[in-house]
Amino acid sequence: MNVAKDILGQWTEYTLTNQNGMAVSVLDYGGIITKILVPDIRGNLENVVLGYKDYGEYKSDSNYFGTIVGRVAGRIRGASFQLYEKTYNLHANNGNNHLHGGPEGFHQIIWSVTPFQTESEVGLKLYHQSSDGEGGYPGNVDILVTYTLNNKNQLNLSYWARSDKTTVLALTNHSYFNLTGNLKDTVKNHYLTIDSSQFVELNEELIPTGKLLNAEGTPFDFRNCRRLGDGFNDEFDQNRIVESGYDHYFLFDNQLINKVVLKDPSSGRVMSMESNEPGMVMYTSNSLGSGLQLSEAKSEKHLGVCFETQASPASLDIKELPSVILKAGEEYKKQTKFTFSLEK
């Protein structure tokens, strides 16, 4: 187990490595996970996330590859919200709406990083203090995000925060996973299980309508494992709205420990995900343009899949959805763990 440090001019990249050779590389800029190397069934260590070959591309990255997203991940309708009858106006950076914390979001700050190591794990503590009014949000918020890698090939992401004013907060990581290794193919032939029987309907602006839809009998029912590419079509209205794929909030049923299990038959890799979050946005890179030079290949549609575990920013309008409100002085404590294994 070790932590390697690489100085990249104004940024620093840290690489966590366990005794199995699994390695996770993270920038202090945006807390970006640039690479995750895990073995396939033939023992080949390959990268299973999307990232740029030229790290300078992260400065203007509109895809949020591997970043910590906040203060609020997802879209806030009309780029404003109300708390206790006071209106807070945010930057509209996605049409008329506010997306992923806006231009001053956590994906574009340099985090204060402290590496740590024990006999059984190695990790990074990333700290940031977001000041009152930053990005239009209320409250001085202390935030600690911890990345931990152990010898069971588990990567644990934990989020802690506290605000001196009641505010809104929904942090997540925006890694795009592709288990083929080194981007050999899109994720269309990945097989996916999600512990969810309900998802949130979207309108043409990709804003939740307030209607919870039953997944049964639709391309959104992943309870019994199905091919991810089944939804890469225009036949079902909700797949069409997001440009042939998924960009929807799934509510977890909490029937299973693993909220997500992703498998790639070609490599034998399996990724299981646990989380104490109430749900997630699954995004299948529907709007990822072609031709970007990534670390191993050129970008293309459906090249990766994101599992953005979080509460829902739509809860600011739709009270039935999991709330993003963090009350003054309360602790925000969330966790998502990814376990990498091989198909037996």
Residue 130: count other Cβ atoms within 10 Å of its Cβ.
24
Query: Distance between CA atoms of 259 and 309, rounded to whole angstroms?
Result: 10
Helix (H) or strand (E) holding 237: helix 237-241
Annotated catalytic, 174?
yes
Among residues 107, 174, 190, 248, the one annotated as catalytic is 174
- Which is catalytic among the residues 46, 134, 274, 308? 308
| Contact status, residue 277 vs residue 336, Cβ threshold 8 Å | yes
Omega cis (within 30) before 71: yes
Under DSSP, the state recorded for 104 is G
CA angle 151, 155, 161 (to 5 degrees): 130
Let me know: does 30 contact 36? Beta carbons within 8 Å. no
State how far the Cα of 280 lies from the Cα of 113, in Å rounded to an integer: 26
Spatial distance between the Cα atoms of 23 and 160, rounded to a whole number of angstroms = 24
What are the catalytic residues?
174, 308
